[in-house]
Structure 1
Amino acid sequence: KDDFIDYFHDRSSPINFKHSPQNFSHILVQQMTNAVRNLYATNVRKIVCAGVLPLGCAPDMLLMKFDSSSNGARGEIEGCLDEVNMAVLEYNTRLEENIVAINVELPGAHVVFCDVYRALMEFIHNPEAYEIEDVKNACCGKGRYGGESGCPSMEIACDDPTRRVWWDLSNPTPVVNSLLADSAWSGRPLSSICRPITVHELLSISV
């Protein structure tokens, strides 16, 4: 996650000039794939790999979209930063493909991919179903969307974080993390977030 944040925030860095967002995603996928293979080489057989959140919808990225828009002074910008989400989706898709291949290739490997991108987008697009009221603004942060700085003090936090998707610049609130954890463990309330099996099913496998 942090690699994507750094990449899109620092447009003047050498890696931005050298690699397109798609190529950068592929580099990160290869690094994660190598990490999984290295764990397997040390006799680890059960592995959970979480994808990356829809960072283009996070408060700090929404602020960047607002600042870069010629219409920014006229009000809020609807939607997320597509360029960021497309790069994240490329990463998640390629990583899951590699995980499927690893499970076939390596004897006894049980690697699970958890699609947190899909889960967060469900909360963002259907907030009422989860008693969420605000899908844009950080519970604890400063400036537009709470995206100008992190959470320096709990004194500035919102009154009810259970009604928000985002806690700070790019991290979900505890209630969203709890929904993610429940879905990863049992497939409820969101089914098929973790594939090919849930984390609970993974732990029940004898190796």
Structure 2
Amino acid sequence: MFNRYSASHMGFRRSPPPYLSLANKTNHQVLKGLAGANFASGGSGILDSTGSTITMTKQIQYFSILQTSIMTYIATDRTYQLLSKSIFLISSGGNDIFAFFTKNNTPNRTEIDSFIATLASTYESHIKALYGLGARKFGIVDVAPIGCCPYTRSLHPAGACIDILNELALGFNTALKSQMQSLSSQLQGMKYSIGSSYAVVWGIIRDPNALGYKEVKSACCGAGKLNGQSGCIPNATYCSERHLYLFWDLLHPTHAISKLAGVAIYQGSQQFATPINFKQLVEQN
């Protein structure tokens, strides 16, 4: 959903098409630098062991295939020039944290630190792999306070946030900032912006009335406790005022929240995007 609003801010009518629809085509907009490609077809994961539908490793392999396809139609130097001006939008990490929590919901400090270090170092390897394929401009979205989504709240007897999940998200986000800053000094020409979905969502949870939201605990569509124990399926219960809800289903925000986050990260202050916002990243040569 965030991808859609990012694309619109960049001047596109809709989200980039799936990469498979672009492979082996000589006339598609990617070759002209007028469109992008979407490699997300399911739940993402930084770690291969997370068991996500499509890991970052697999997505990078798909990108490599598309890059090779482009090179068969335009010169290698033009391909790298095109890729160096492109924005590589990445949002991953939440599924990895959920998977870790599922196996160990009361980790000690050593286990937490070890997991975050592994997650961050693997992420670094993925960024370096993309850089090696020609990527230079990275738009990164951090992990939201996933301990406060309806699904995780439904696991708490009182419906409160699961603190350890938020601690893991914050720990990874902190490591991500340090890592990207270090990489940008090592990799020539690399530029980046980290958009904070954590800051956007946490601000709404703390003070929903400030922006006109009514419900930040329950999902608009779902079933069970807080509508967070089942997905938004045909026989689910759904709200009549979805624009007043933070969450659409047990895990995902509503359109209204995604649109708000898109604006904050694309053109907002350093509270929501650092060291520059996405707009500034797009405009940099």
Q: Is 1:123 aligned to residue 204 of structure 2?
A: yes
**1:140–1:154 contact (8 Å) kept in structure 2:** no
Contact 2:194 2:277 in 1 (8 A): no
Instruction: Find the residue that maps to 1:132 and give its secondary structure.
Output: coil
Which gives a bigger RCO, structure 1 or 2 (Cα 8 Å, sep 6+)?
1
Q: Secondary structure at the match of 2:194?
A: strand
The alpha-carbon deviation at position 196 of structure 1 amounts to 0.8
Counterparts in 2 of 1:173 and 1:154: CA distance versus 1, 3 Å: farther
Alignment match, 2:67: none
Label 1:153 to 1:10 Cα distance change in 2 as closer, same or farther (>3 A): farther
Q: What's 1:39 paired with?
A: 130
In the TM superposition, 1:73-112 aligns within 5 A as 76-77=158-159, 79-112=160-193
2:113 paired with 1:22: yes
Residue 7 of structure 1: CA displacement? 2.4
Residue 156 of structure 1, CA deviation: 2.5
Q: Contact 2:270–2:276 at 8 Å: present in 1 too?
A: no
Q: Partner letter of residue 105 of structure 1?
A: Q
Larger-Rg structure: 2
Q: What is the aligned length?
A: 190
Partner of 2:216: 135
Following the alignment from structure 1 to structure 2, what is the Cα–Cα distance between the partners of residues 191 and 184?
9
Q: Helix, strand or coil: the match of 2:246?
A: coil
CA RMSD after TM alignment: 2.0
Matched residue type, 2:101: F
1:204 matched residue in structure 2:
283
Using the TM superposition, give the Cα deviation of residue 80 of structure 1 relative to its aligned residue in structure 2, in angstroms: 1.5
Match of 1:8 in 2: 101
Going from structure 1 to structure 2, the CA distance change for 1:83 and 1:171 (only over 3 Å counts) comes to same
Identify if the C-alpha distance between structure 1 residues 170 and 152 changes in structure 2 by more than 3 Å, giving closer, same or farther: same
Q: What secondary structure sits across from 1:145 in the alignment?
A: helix
Measure the CA separation in 2 of the matches of 1:169 and 1:196.
32
- Structure number with the higher strand fraction is 2
- Against the structure 1 CA distance between its residues 154 and 143, is the aligned structure 2 distance closer, same or farther, given a 3 Å change threshold? closer
